Amino acid sequence: MNNALSEHPAVLFGQWLRNKRRDADAVAREFAGRVDLSPAEYAEVELGIDVGRWITPKQQNLICIMLNLDETGEAELNYKLDQARSASRIQFGDVFTRDQLTPVRCSTLYNEQIDEKKREEILDAVFKPLE
């Protein structure tokens, strides 16, 4: 992640949530399921990507329950989440570059290496904004 994003409210929210989850000894994959998110969606939340999209009032409530937050903890969650939602939206491409995620070795079902065109198609799909 670039330095410009390190102080972004959505990134700070994701870091806060990751720390609270770890303090509760919860594994990310299991925690994601308990707050009704896929592991991939939850991973994006912890990175600060599309926080407003993934954390609905339902998830917000489930996070409070899963982390057993008291009034102070719930207020902190609400404040950080409001800050993240009101900030500019971070997308996948803001955090990762195509070079970082370019498949180095990738083959088809028939064990044939993919060509450059197929590699670019994969990257286009990975970086296509969600609608």
CATH 1.10.240.10 fits 3-92, yes or no: no
Per domain, the residue ranges of the chain are 3-92, 97-127
Q: What is the pLDDT of residues 10-45, one digit of tens each?
A: 999 999 999 999 999 999 999 999 999 999 999 999
Whole-number percent of the chain with pLDDT over 70: 96
Mean pLDDT over residues 53-62, rounded?
Answer: 94
DSSP string covering the chain? --GGGTT-HHHHHHHHHHHHHHHTT--HHHHHHHTT--HHHHHHHHHTTTHHHH--HHHHHHHHHHTT--HHHHHHHHHHHHHHHHSPPP-HHHH--HHHH--SS-B-TTSPBP-HHHHHHHHHHHHSPP-
